[in-house]
Amino acid sequence: MAEDKVDELLQKLQKYFSHITASEIMNKNVITLTSERTLWQAKELMKIRKISGIPVVNDQRKLIGIISIEDIIMALEKNYIKEPIGDHMTKRVVSFSPDEPLESIVSKFERYHFGRFPVVDKNKRILGVISKKDIIRAILERFRLIYVHDERRSQILEKEAEWFDKSLITGDYVKKSDADFVFQINYTNVDLAGAGAAKLKSFLTKKGIGETLVRRVAIATYEAEVNVVIHSESEGAIYCWIEKTCIKVRVEDHGRGIENIEQAMKEGYSTATDHIRELGFGAGMGLPNIRRYSDQMVVMSEVGKGVVVEMIFCERG
């Protein structure tokens, strides 16, 4: 959609949703950088996450600047891409307060022509980020809330509560605090994708689990982990339980969710962006690989509510 068409649409829609504020629209999963990181790292992050600007924060998460794609282009032209962000970032940042109304948000987008604006509290601490996409998403969500029946909504909510506490395969309650292995997935750094699976592999090897079984667990876990990093836009976690006859792994996130699981299970189907594909991801083999290497697997997901993948691996005779 052309840029001016988006603006026009926002103009029209904002009248109906004038009561929405920045805190309701903002994306709370903010990707930030600290000022000692290099412009090169900022460039990589922008490329991979397909974003045009990254807020720069200090160690108290206070906003101190913003680095935009224009800054990167300049750095490439003038050959200082390896230098720290702090020396070249824009320090006068236009930001929103959490209670800033939609009307004022839209007018700032028009006035400044930035791709995204940070939302900060009174102490300049960063709370979230708003792009035009976030505004449209917030508005669409309002539409959905208006049209979904109450009964259906409560069912969905109940289901959600159930997912995050019960085993999808056995129906037992799972105690995550009892897990033998826990790993928090860092979704902001694609370079780290697979770090959890690699750790799990060495953990299981040290526990004396057979090599072939460990390899299967590691491969399937890797795929689930990469899915969280590439698709969810949310943090996630890997849990592993070593049981008498099998190994159970659960990978969960609270992100975007899968629209059509049946399609996602097909080999070669992927919603990954071109950038991600260039890195060799997004082959559409993730879930098929998990199915192939696990003895039992269940995927449960709903758009906007995250994904839970549970896998059971047994020693094969």
Q: Interacting stretch for other proteins, rule CB under 8 A, among 145-153, 243-251, 274-282, 303-311?
A: 274-282
Exactly one of 57, 197, 300, 312 binds other proteins (CB under 8 A); that residue is 197
Residue 164's φ and ψ, nearest 5 degrees, are: -85, 0
CA distance 100 to 22: 5
What letters, b where the CB count within 10 A reaches 16 and e where it falls short, cover 150-163?
A: eeeeeeeeeeeeeb
Sheet holding 33-34, edge to edge: 33-34, 53-57, 63-68
Contacts of 261 (CB under 8 A, 6+ apart): 299, 301
Site mask, other proteins, residues 240-269, x = CB under 8 A? ------------------------------
Q: Is 194 in the site for other proteins (CB under 8 A)?
A: yes
Exactly one of 169, 209, 246, 279 binds other proteins (CB under 8 A); that residue is 279
Exactly one of 35, 104, 289, 296 binds other proteins (CB under 8 A); that residue is 289
Binders in 200-229 for other proteins, by CB under 8 A: 201, 215, 218-219, 222-223, 226
| 3-class state of residue 149 by DSSP | coil
Q: Which is nearer to other proteins, 20 or 218 (CB)?
A: 218
Residue 235 in contact with residue 302, Cβ under 8 Å? no
Q: Is 281 in the site for other proteins (CB under 8 A)?
A: yes
DSSP string, 231-279: II-S-EEEEEEE-SSEEEEEEEE-SS--S-HHHHTSTT-----HHHHHT
Closest CB 50 distance from other proteins, rounded Å: 16
Contacts of 96 (CB under 8 A, 6+ apart): 22, 26, 104, 105, 108, 117, 118, 119, 120, 130
Q: Interacting stretch for other proteins, rule CB under 8 A, among 3-11, 108-116, 194-202, 238-246?
A: 194-202
Q: Which is nearer to other proteins, 255 or 286 (CB)?
A: 286
Exactly one of 5, 280, 316, 317 binds other proteins (CB under 8 A); that residue is 280
CA distances from 92 to 63, 67, 98, 178, 216 (A): 10, 11, 19, 48, 51
CA distance 291 to 313: 11
Q: Which is nearer to other proteins, 219 or 261 (CB)?
A: 219
Q: Is 193 in the site for other proteins (CB under 8 A)?
A: yes
Size of the site for other proteins (CB under 8 A): 25
Token output for 115: 């791709």
Closest CB 211 distance from other proteins, rounded Å: 8
Closest CB 260 distance from other proteins, rounded Å: 19
Exactly one of 261, 285, 298, 314 binds other proteins (CB under 8 A); that residue is 285
List residues bridging with 250 in a β-sheet: 239, 310
Q: Is 293 in the site for other proteins (CB under 8 A)?
A: yes
Which residue matches tokens 């085993």?
167
Closest CB 119 distance from other proteins, rounded Å: 32
Exactly one of 198, 213, 246, 298 binds other proteins (CB under 8 A); that residue is 198
Radius of gyration of the chain, Cα coordinates, nearest whole angstrom = 22
Residues in contact with other proteins by the rule CB under 8 A: 190-191, 193-195, 197-198, 201, 215, 218-219, 222-223, 226, 279-281, 283-286, 288-289, 292-293
